[in-house]
Amino acid sequence: MACFTSVIFLFGFINLSAENKGTCDVYAAFGQSPSLSFANKKLANSHVLRWTHNDTIVFYRQQGRVSVGKPDDVSATGALMLRNVKFSSAGAYHANLLQPNGTVATTWASRLCVIDKVPKPEVRYVCDFKSSAVNLECVAAKPEELGFSWTLDKKTLPSERSQRLRILNQLKGERSFTCSVSNRASRDTSDTVYPTCKAPPPPPLLCFTSKTVMGAAAGGAALTLLLITIIVALCCCERRNKTQMRVKDKGELRMLSINRRELDSTGPEYETMHPTENRPPPSPQPSPRACYHKVSQPEAETANTPPQLSVAAEGQRPSPVPKPRTKNPQTPNT
């Protein structure tokens, strides 16, 4: 009779596992320690309790003696306590409770799904000064798989379930915001954020941005430096040209003085003493008497004459010719 009851029990367990296959009614996050809440207040040590995971016995106790698993794997009410679950811990779990005579007291079956733990979210905000509002966003990985909730000044906003939140008239005073994300197995909350929205400074008179002003200032400075450089270069060139002209003028004056000295050295005495070949004959000189009549005494004294004449030249000068005396006409005596 006991064997027949056991066969019926196993057959029902297999059918129940097949019905629950593919559906998850219990969720746990990776690394959590959930409990499969099979509760029987009438559980006694005389009962036979067996837990299976995917047709593998994970706990068996009969007459208070545990043959599979550990005594603390099951609570006082018969719930299975899982610790640090992994993805391999997912699957079908089934509990069977038998009377001491072998009859079935109760059964329980469920399917466990292990999923990732939600990441910690972050609140970001942007101030909208035109409408005096704050636009907040709850940032988290894989947002399509998460649920969102918001709190304002530590009070939950039940109507806000989206990833983004817009609060009007929030630029006055300091308010606190947090957002929470959750999935079927875990939940996490962001740090508290206090949006500080300061009014922007008034626009400049010329409506130029700071970058434009800085760029214009830099360009003006560069242009000024370029002009100064050009002016200095032109001044240096002009000064150098003047210096070269002065040197050139001095050289020409020196050459003129040298040529003049050479001309002065080649006078009549030099020509008579050093006759040169192929020199044209000297032009006839006017007589001293003609020069004496044509040139006045002051002009004759200031004329350019050789500074000194030799004694021979003095001797060659013609002597002056005396003028004939004229007789006054005699008047007849009356």
Average pLDDT for 4-21: 41
First to last CA, the chain: 223
pTM summary value: 0.48
CB 81 within 8 Å of CB 75: yes
Nearest Cα to 114, choosing from 161, 66, 195, 183? 183
The SS3 call for residue 108 is strand
CB 49 within 8 Å of CB 43: yes
Complete domains list, the chain, with CATH: 2-115 (2.60.40.10), 122-189 (2.60.40.10)
Between 77-81, 242-246, 275-279, the lowest mean confidence (pLDDT) is in 275-279
Q: For 169-215, how does the pLDDT look when each residue is reduced to its tens digit (9 = 90+)? A: 766 667 899 999 999 999 999 999 998 877 666 665 556 667 777 88
| Residue with token string 């350019």 | 304
Average pLDDT for 32-39: 84
CB 118 within 8 Å of CB 186: yes
Q: What is the pLDDT of the chain when averaged over all its residues?
A: 75
Q: How confident is the model at residue 29 (pLDDT cuts 50, 70, 90)?
A: very high
d(CA 222, CA 214): 12
Nearest Cα to 79, choosing from 49, 53, 113, 103? 49
d(CA 310, CA 289): 21
Which tokens go with 264? 């002065």
The one-letter amino acid code at 329 reads: P
Dihedral of CA 244/250/253/255: which sign? Answer: negative
CB 47 within 8 Å of CB 100: yes
What backbone torsions phi and psi does residue 14 show, to the nearest 5 degrees?
A: -65, -45
Which tokens go with 266? 């080649």
d(CA 236, CA 227): 14
- CB neighbours of residue 115 within 10 Å: 18
- Max CA pair span of the chain: 223
- pLDDT exceeds 70 at position 273: no
Q: For 41-86, how does the pLDDT look when each residue is reduced to its tens digit (9 = 90+)? A: 677 878 888 999 998 999 999 888 889 988 889 888 888 999 999 9
In the chain, pLDDT over 70 holds for what percent of residues?
66
- pLDDT exceeds 90 at position 108: no
| Residue with token string 């021979």 | 312
CB 95 within 8 Å of CB 108: yes
User: Which H or E run contains 148?
Assistant: strand 147-152
- pLDDT exceeds 50 at position 311: no
- pLDDT exceeds 60 at position 241: yes
Average pLDDT for 306-312: 45
Q: How confident is the model at residue 266 (pLDDT cuts 50, 70, 90)?
A: low
What DSSP letter does each residue of 241-272 carry, written as one string? HHHHHHHHHHHHHHHHHHHHHHHHHS-HHHHH
